[in-house]
Amino acid sequence: QQQVKQSPQSLIVQKGGISIINCAYENTAFDYFPWYQQFPGKGPALLIAIRPDVSEKKEGRFTISFNKSAKQFSLHIMDSQPGDSATYFCAAMSETSGSRLTFGEGTQLTVNP
């Protein structure tokens, strides 16, 4: 019940296109859903996060869509750029249970110029 399933495993997009990564969770106690971006040799960096009281959150070119009833959330990267090429992780946690993040398996995004 602690799992977070992420898809696709890898994604290739043309410059200027939209990248979409999906995640699904099982634990209904999860109430905080961040997305992290990781470049080789670096730690994960927080991109954007959402809580279940809203269905969508946008920050620049990055948007999280959240469907509480389906227990799914997704990351949309608009106008994808070669510099966005990285590994993206979704995660989930229950804030009342401390800082334990449960991560998805990761998506390797390649944006071709």
Partner 1 sequence: KAGVTQTPRYLIKTRGQQVTLSCSPISGHRSVSWYQQTPGQGLQFLFEYFSETQRNKGNFPGRFSGRQFSNSRSEMNVSTLELGDSALYLCASSLTPSNQPQHFGDGTRLSIL
Q: By CB under 8 A, name the binding residues for partner 1.
A: 32, 34, 36, 41-46, 49, 89, 91, 93, 95-106
Q: Where are the alpha helices (DSSP H) in 58-110?
A: none
Helix (H, G, I), strand (E, B) or coil at 84: helix
**Minimum CB distance to partner 1 smaller for 73 or for 80:** 73
Nearer to partner 1 by Cβ, of 59 and 79: the residue is 59
Nearest CA-CA partner of 101 in 42, 27, 38, 39: 27
Name which of 14 and 96 has its Cβ closer to partner 1: 96
